C-alpha cells in the first residue's frame, strides 16, 4: 500500500523522538553496506526524506533543516528505510553521490582506533572542503 498523508502521519506518530524532537539516523551505502554518516532528523526532515527520496537532516549546531547536498552537490538518494525495535533510531540505505563527510571523505567513519590513537585508514578525500564550503 503506498504511503498517503494520513498513514505517513501515523507512521511518524509511532516513532519515539527524543525530548528535543530528534531521532538518530545511521546512513549506509546501499551498494556496500559501509557506514557513511550519523546525523539527526526531526519530524519535518523525516517527512521530507520520505516524500522526496532525498536525505534531509536537522542540524543541531545551526538549528535548521538541511537537504544533504544543498551546498556541496553531494546528495543521498534513499533506497531503504529501517527502524529499530524501540522506534527511536533509523537506518537509511542510500546511493551516495560524492562524499558524505563535510571534511571531504566519502564516509565520516574514515578513522579507526589504533595503538596510538585515531588513525586514518587507507582513504583519500573525494573533494576539497575549503573549495566546497566557502
- Burial class of residue 94, CB neighbours in 10 A (0-12, 13-18, 19+): buried
Structural domain count of the chain: 1
CATH number for position 120 = 3.10.20.810
What's the confidence (pLDDT) of residue 56? 98
In tens, the pLDDT along 46-84 reads: 999 999 999 999 999 999 999 999 999 999 999 999 999
In tens, the pLDDT along 107-123 reads: 999 999 999 999 998 77
What's the confidence (pLDDT) of residue 112? 94
pTM flag (> 0.85): yes
Pick from 35, 41, 45, 51: nearest CA to 105: 35
Range of the domain at 27: 5-132
Buried b (16+ CB within 10 A) or exposed e, 75-92: bbebeeeeeeeeeebbeb
Amino acid at each position: 500500500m503506498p504511503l498517503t498523508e494520513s498513514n505517513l502521519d501515523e507512521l511518524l506518530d509511532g516513532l519515539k523522538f527524543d525530548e528535543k524532537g530528534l531521532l538518530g539516523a545511521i546512513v549506509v551505502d546501499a551498494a556496500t553496506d559501509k557506514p557513511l554518516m550519523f546525523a539527526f532528523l526531526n519530524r519535518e526532515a523525516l517527512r521530507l526524506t520520505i516524500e522526496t527520496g532525498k536525505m534531509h537532516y536537522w542540524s543541531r549546531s545551526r538549528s535548521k533543516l538541511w537537504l544533504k547536498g544543498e551546498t556541496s552537490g553531494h546528495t543521498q538518494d534513499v533506497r531503504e528505510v529501517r527502524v529499530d525495535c524501540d522506534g527511536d533510531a533509523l537506518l537509511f540505505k542510500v546511493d551516495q553521490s560524492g562524499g558524505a563527510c563535510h571534511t571531504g571523505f566519502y564516509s565520516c567513519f574514515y578513522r579507526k582506533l589504533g595503538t596510538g590513537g585515531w588513525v586514518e585508514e587507507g582513504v583519500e578525500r573525494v573533494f576539497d572542503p575549503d573549495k566546497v564550503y566557502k
